[in-house]
Amino acid sequence: MKKSLLLLVSAALCAGFSSCSDDNQPAQQLPHEISIINEYPEGFDTGSATALSVTFTELNTRDTYTLTSDAASESLTFLLPTGTYDYTGIITYTTTLSDNSDKTLQLRSIGSSVTVTGPTTLTLDWFMANAASDLIISEIYAAGSKNAAGTSGLRDAFIRIYNNSDHTLYADGLAIVESDFVNSRSNDYDILTPANDRNINFTVGAVWVIPGSGSDVAIEPGEYITLTDQAIDWSTQVEGALDLTGANFEWYDDVAQDTDNPSVANLDKWFSYSKTVWMMSNQCNRSYALVKFPEGMTVDKYLAEYKGSYDYLHPTTGTQMRKENAYLIPNNWIIDGVNLSNKEVFVRGALAVSIDASYASISDINGDKQRFGKKFIRKTAAVTPDGRKILQDSDDSAADFILVSANN
């Protein structure tokens, strides 16, 4: 009996300790070859690419795998274990602008729920993007809705600022500015003051700042805020006009001609060329930019140090003239900018070509009354798996914006 007991206990101990050894490694998922075919935007020069990166995120495990290359090509191969993947890709490339300067831009590609259980062919559709502009101007409604007489636009104009990133961003402290220069033939000045060179500074006639301490106006990914002239229900005045009572901010000039909706916060007016009310150009022939001031900038400091008076030659008389009522925005403060005009009279954008290589056109002809009720909106470049739109931002407004009814 003692021998039986010893055998019994020995068997238990041996079996037990052998099962306790650290041999319990996970079954490895065999990697599979992924053949990647790249489809680039028309005209993209693969030779201009300086870096390529595609990150695959496995949806079940959150494991990530990154493919990197220092050049773009038509096809690539990569290894991935079994799984279901979302992916995001970035290609950095260099392009030469019309002023012969070089600019670094990006292509992006995103995709979702790619199932890999064996060798897989994956086509990546690349689109133009600008990673620097996480907050962008997504919509501009400058023309306004047609007034009751059909002669001009109402003041239901607005600008929308959109969070094009995948993380929460804050808009307070940012400024919406309007160019002092007009982008049309009639204002084809020769600017004589070097500081007002558009490749150095953006010369502006209005500066409106979103109030807050830097963390008060959050914009979630895929969301936007609306800045408007008068946050009222215009549709009660003219059928088809907009109800802007839900706007986030309004620019209010505190003069008798303006109307304030007290339930909508007002932007801080740092500067306006207008002695009465400031309105967006309903001719749609100026430029607009979203600006982030450097740390510590105040209205007093800005007005004291960035006066933008300039001398110019009048295009018809040839007379040297001076414009006092303008300020400067250094180009490196600008996080997004859009030139507006129409095709008939456009001469150049007030923004540097590195900020906007072209312009968004309201019409083929100047003074077109059909422009009323139309707004510029950015194209949607892609939609993330969770439904968030990524808007196109290639710093080329002609390519990035389309014209739609303001009621859309």
List residues binding other proteins (CB under 8 A): 1, 4-5, 8-9, 11-13, 15-17, 19-20, 24-27, 29, 58-63, 82-84, 113-115, 117
Q: Angle at Cα 28 formed by Cα 27 and Cα 33, nearest 5°?
A: 150
Judged by beta carbon, residue 1 or residue 304, the one nearer other proteins is 1
The residue type at 301: K
Q: Which one, 69 or 112, has the nearer CB to other proteins?
A: 112
DSSP string, 45-66: -GGGEEEEEEEEEETTT--EEE
In the complex, least distance from residue 36 CB atom to other proteins, rounded to whole angstroms: 18
Least Å from the CB of residue 61 to other proteins:
6
- Least distance from C-beta 389 to other proteins, angstroms? 21
Determine the Cα–Cα distance for residues 190 and 311; give it in Å rounded to an integer: 9
> Least separation, in Å, of the C-beta of 15 and other proteins?
6
Q: How far is the CB of 81 from other proteins (least distance, A)?
A: 8
CA–CA separation, 203 and 273 (whole Å): 12
Closest CB to other proteins among residues 21, 316: 21
Distances (CA, A) of 407 to 222, 249, 342, 375: 20, 19, 21, 9
Q: What CA dihedral angle connects 392, 180, 261 and 150, to 10 degrees?
A: -80
Nearer to other proteins, 57 or 163 (CB): 57
Lookup result for tokens 């890999």: 116
Rounded to a whole number of angstroms, the minimum distance from the CB of residue 118 to other proteins is 10
Residue 115 Cβ, how far from other proteins at the closest point, in Å? 4
Give the separation between CA 346 and CA 360, rounded to whole angstroms.
10
Residues in the chain: 408
**Toward other proteins, which CB reaches closer, 115 or 168?**
115
- Which residue's CB is nearer to other proteins, number 4 or number 100? 4
CB within 8 Å of 203: residues ≥ 6 apart: 179, 180, 181, 191, 196, 308, 310, 326, 327, 328, 329, 350
